[in-house]
Amino acid sequence: MLLTIISIIAHCRDNVVAEAVASGLPVATVSSPLNGAASVVHRYGIGVVGAPTASGFASAVRQTLDAQSELSARCLEVSAELDWTVLSRQ
């Protein structure tokens, strides 16, 4: 099982998410006003966003692993929409 884990609460560049999605890797991350990955994950349904706590993050990872095959397929479906040139304009 493979996934991308973004465990930071601070700023995360969208290119990390774009590269994961292009590889079919769903993303587990936490909600934070500074974590741009969380909004992209939520908007495109390519992983799970947990609360910014240890238990919330663990839950997001667990849920992402449980739904990995569906989320991986979703990643590949939306990968063209998440091209870095598209994300840089948002």
The model carries a pTM of 0.82
**What whole-number distance in Å separates Cα of residue 82 and Cα of residue 15?**
9
Q: What would the pLDDT profile of 12-33 be if each residue is shown by its tens digit?
A: 566 788 888 899 999 999 998 8
For 52-78, the pLDDT digits (tens) are 999 999 999 999 999 999 999 999 999
Q: Are 37 and 61 in contact (CB under 8 A)?
A: no
Question: 70 exposed, middle or buried (CB, 10 Å; 0-12, 13-18, 19+)?
Answer: exposed
Q: CA-to-CA distance for 90 and 75, rounded, in angstroms?
A: 19
Burial 33-52 (b: 16+ CB within 10 A, else e): eebbbbbbbeebebbbbbeb
- When pLDDT is averaged across residues 49-53 and rounded to a whole number, the result is 93
